[in-house]
Structure 1
Amino acid sequence: MQQRNFRHLLLGHESLLQMDKINDSSQVRDCLTHTDVAKENKADSNQQIQHTDAAEESKADCSQENMGGLNTKRRHSQSYKTEADDQKQKTGAEAQSSDPWGEGKLKKEPECHMQLDKLFPNQNHTVLIDTNEFMAGRIVPHKGQHVWNSHFVKLPHNYPLQNGIESRWAVTEKALKERKLTRGASAKDVEMAIKTYNHKHKTDWRFNTLYRFYESGSRSYFSSVISKIAQLALTLPSLVQTKIPMLRQNQSHAITMSQEQIACLLANAFFCTFPHRNTTQPGSEYSNFPTINFSSLLSNASPRTLQKLKAIFYYFNTVTEEATKPKGLVTFERICLSQSEFPNWSKQKENMTNLHVYLNGFIEKEGQGMLQVDFASNMIGGGVLNQGLVQEEIRFIQCPELIVARLFTEKLGDNECLKITGAQVYSNTTGYSDSFQCNSPHTDSTQRDEWKRRYCQIVAIDAIKFDDPRQQYSEKNIKRELLKAYVGFKGDPQIPTDYTPAIATGNWGCGAFKGDPMLKALIQMMAAAVAHRDLAYFTFGNKKQAEDLKRTYKLLKSHKVTVGKLYNLLLDYCKHHHHHHHHVKSVSDYISEKMGVHPSQL
């Protein structure tokens, strides 16, 4: 990979490193009331979730190392322009709707952005558009070759021909064109079309959600959107003209594609056209992958799936209208750390980085411009295409472009994450779980980088689910969670820390996964320190947790506690917890007493 000297890039640009002010802020609406703030025209619609329960599903984010042609090779520029330069999005004081406690300024993109190198494909990066055309300002598909094997996505229009049998894609085309889907389609027409090329599921796919959605709203709207989804699905052979690699375990690789290509792939997922993807039973070809066809979402009728389908229709209606069709790119990057890159936690000399604690606020709103943590499932997207509706699923429903990651992302290992750059918000929502509501379409005005990706970076990291909460107080499990957080937080060593945005996170792996919120906060603080990144931590209305976190952080800072020392204190705490589980101190009280400070003195 080409080396680049950044020293001259930093000289004379100090004024460009000024970060957003964070203290001028209007009052945030308390997340637990699920108040609707959907009218705000922000980069992310409001994701009203209690992140303590949101840990049910986890995503994997990725560091940018060893990814030639990605934004691992950036240089600062004073002069580059984006499409939103004349209507810059409010990312500083005006975007803050709570008054966080914190030390130091938190860096955000685009203010700390370093200009990207030219977009190009290489062995670590697959690009589905023609990069030469892209340099000329046009987004057109890259013309390559398709491959039908387990290393690449099996696209429906490439299904192998069988002697004397009409091709599967010909059957699909006929079904989507002739089942009245081009005009006046009903839910029954959609069902019959899908079952035409999914014979095995003629009896077990019921499409109850689709029928309820059709009967509960405007039938002309339903028919209009269905027609546009069908037409979009059929453009697959022209929009995707090269192979799409599977992002397999233990392999760092990235895929960049256009938002139009994503929309086309999702239209095919809606109509369940992807072959071999209707089962994930043990021993099946895709048992280690999430589902991608929408059969479960369309079938399992509930208030939750009805609201999800509403958001999906908003998405497809937006991407098929010429006036609102998005014209940018999105990158999906799987990051895998080798064992030689694992930190030796007991010997790390770093001190805690800057921390801001938000009692109120949202990762996707106040954390705009930061690396936003998705409390993911190891199967990316979790239950987004089923009943799940906590942090990960809500984010995927607000930003359906994230769903396409399920097409090619294998289950995440302990040393892996998935980072998605450039996803757009299409729906305003409130609530979570049973209180979730999709309220209206969202207009996303977030600026774009040189690769025409929205300044929105999401990292998916999956926490351990503990059947017994006591299991988390062991060296093995603490090391695992530290590694998972670190792989998600780690940046490119070639990028100076002044150009690395802070991390926006919260109670990762708590709630349903039974994680100790203070322990998880300390783990993320340690991983952030070793990654040399600041942290914005959201407690989502939990005042006691916010105060405990502030006190503990101030204690660690005042005593100059290193990551290594804190790691060893946590191991001591595990022994204490094991021997005194009936009268165990909290981890924060234990640390303060070990340092000779009684909690009442803080």
Structure 2
Amino acid sequence: MSTVQNTVYNSCTSTSKKISDRIDMTKPHKNEKEPFLVKVERYASSFRYSGDHVDKKSLDCVRRKKTRIIAIDALCIPGMRQYKAECLLREINKAFCGFYDQSKCQRYMNISQEDHIRPDCHDVATEGLNNEGQNNPTLRESASAVEKSNEGANQAEMIGNCLSEPFGQSLHPEYEVGIVTGNWGCGAFGGDPEIKTIIQWLAASQALRPFILYHTFEEESLQSLEQVSNWILTHEWTVGELWNMLAVYSSQRLKNETSVGFLNWLVPSFSFQSNEMSDPDFMEE
């Protein structure tokens, strides 16, 4: 257990890795949708069962199907507490434990070692944002808040460190396995779907998973998830950069400085910058 905990902690402090380059959304079947059936044939009165379905999924070294069902305990009825730094860290560590791939243990160790020997690993996530956000008051304030929060912060709070290893590189790409998940800890548990989506995406990326297939279950607050995730991927954000923005947002929620969801909070920040940059008056200045 201590080995896993150490691996999780060290990996979560190495967060300049690129975010997983696939996040897909699915919806439950509706009346106009068709289910996928196997081992049936013909139609109407001649419709019949034609034999057992044979799962041809490959096996691991002990002849188990290469599919795992993961159960992760989320915060129960957390309310506003879920926006506190310790709760965010608790949830992302929990998700990372669930998504952790034992076969990549050595890569996690390399990430940890490289993070400790590089002297320039602190606060680069905010530096990466400065180039885009220097003319954007919202981004500038957010980056400043991250920098200030890092002053005197303990190591667990300083998740936005650096590592430049590209995501998805593997010696055995045929063994890469993604994550299928949904609104973990939401619904009856009362979690914020937008926060939990981002936390799981960050955890899957940090765990070197190649993709995350996300079932939104038509959650209204996640309607813009595809748009936002595509924007983030297009701009090649790292895990650390997205984490820092999540931390800034959560801090604002705790202080009642914002009441909008994370996705709507994040997108207008950059939409403002795009509009400002395209303004002829702004360009003349």
Does TM, scored on the shorter chain, surpass 0.5? yes
The code of the aligned residue for 1:338 comes to Q
The reply on whether 1:569 has 2:179 as its aligned counterpart is no
What's the % identity of the aligned pairs?
26
The code of the aligned residue for 1:446 comes to D
The code of the aligned residue for 1:523 comes to I
Please report how far the alpha carbon of residue 513 of structure 1 lies from its aligned counterpart in structure 2 after TM superposition. Answer: 1.0
The code of the aligned residue for 1:522 comes to I
Equivalent residue, structure 1, for 2:207: 531
The reply on whether 1:595 has 2:263 as its aligned counterpart is no
Equivalent residue, structure 1, for 2:152: none
Question: 3-state DSSP class of the match of 1:356?
Answer: strand
Question: 3-state DSSP class of the match of 1:460?
Answer: coil
Q: Is the 8 A contact 2:221 2:261 kept in 1?
A: no
Please report how far the alpha carbon of residue 517 of structure 1 lies from its aligned counterpart in structure 2 after TM superposition. Answer: 0.7
Within 2, Cα distance between the matches of 1:550 and 1:521?
A: 11
Equivalent residue, structure 1, for 2:97: 487
- 1:107-122 alignment runs, 5 A limit: none
Question: 3-state DSSP class of the match of 1:595?
Answer: helix
- 1:164-563 alignment runs, 5 A limit: 250=1, 337-343=4-10, 345=12, 347-353=14-20, 354-360=22-28, 445-447=54-56, 449=59, 451-466=62-77, 468-491=78-101, 492-493=103-104, 496=171, 498=173, 499-533=175-209, 534-542=211-219, 544-563=220-239
Within 2, Cα distance between the matches of 1:599 and 1:504?
A: 33
The code of the aligned residue for 2:233 comes to K
Within 2, Cα distance between the matches of 1:513 and 1:500?
A: 31
Equivalent residue, structure 1, for 2:126: none
Q: Is the 8 A contact 1:510 1:516 kept in 2?
A: yes
Q: Is the 8 A contact 2:12 2:206 kept in 1?
A: no
| Superposed CA offset, 1:51-100 (max 9, x none) | xxxxxxxxxxxxxxxxxxxxxxxxxxxxxxxxxxxxxxxxxxxxxxxxxx
Tell me the C-alpha RMSD between the 2 structures: 2.9
Within 2, Cα distance between the matches of 1:444 and 1:461?
A: 30
> Kindly tell me: are residues 342 and 578 of structure 1, through their superposed partners in 2, closer, same or farther at Cα, counting changes over 3 Å?
same
Within 2, Cα distance between the matches of 1:357 and 1:599?
A: 26
Q: Is the 8 A contact 1:503 1:536 kept in 2?
A: yes
More helix by share: 2
Within 1, Cα distance between the matches of 2:10 and 2:272?
A: 29
Q: Is the 8 A contact 1:357 1:546 kept in 2?
A: no
The code of the aligned residue for 1:349 comes to S
The reply on whether 1:584 has 2:252 as its aligned counterpart is no
**Which segments of 5 or more consecutive residues in structure 2 lack a partner in the other structure?**
30-50, 107-169, 276-285
> Kindly tell me: are residues 597 and 497 of structure 1, through their superposed partners in 2, closer, same or farther at Cα, counting changes over 3 Å?
farther
Q: Is the 8 A contact 1:346 1:565 kept in 2?
A: no
Please report how far the alpha carbon of residue 338 of structure 1 lies from its aligned counterpart in structure 2 after TM superposition. Answer: 2.8
Within 1, Cα distance between the matches of 2:272 and 2:12?
A: 24
Question: 3-state DSSP class of the match of 1:484?
Answer: helix
Q: Which one has more relative contact order, counting CA pairs under 8 Å at least 6 apart? A: 2
Within 1, Cα distance between the matches of 2:72 and 2:231?
A: 28
Please report how far the alpha carbon of residue 556 of structure 1 lies from its aligned counterpart in structure 2 after TM superposition. Answer: 1.1
> Kindly tell me: are residues 599 and 500 of structure 1, through their superposed partners in 2, closer, same or farther at Cα, counting changes over 3 Å?
same
Please report how far the alpha carbon of residue 452 of structure 1 lies from its aligned counterpart in structure 2 after TM superposition. Answer: 3.5
Please report how far the alpha carbon of residue 479 of structure 1 lies from its aligned counterpart in structure 2 after TM superposition. Answer: 0.6
Within 2, Cα distance between the matches of 1:560 and 1:526?
A: 13
**Which segments of 5 or more consecutive residues in structure 1 lack a partner in the other structure?**
1-249, 252-335, 362-441
Within 2, Cα distance between the matches of 1:573 and 1:599?
A: 20
Within 2, Cα distance between the matches of 1:347 and 1:337?
A: 16
TM-score normalized by the length of structure 1: 0.28
Please report how far the alpha carbon of residue 347 of structure 1 lies from its aligned counterpart in structure 2 after TM superposition. Answer: 4.8
Please report how far the alpha carbon of residue 598 of structure 1 lies from its aligned counterpart in structure 2 after TM superposition. Answer: 8.0
TM-score normalized by the length of structure 2: 0.57
Within 2, Cα distance between the matches of 1:549 and 1:562?
A: 17
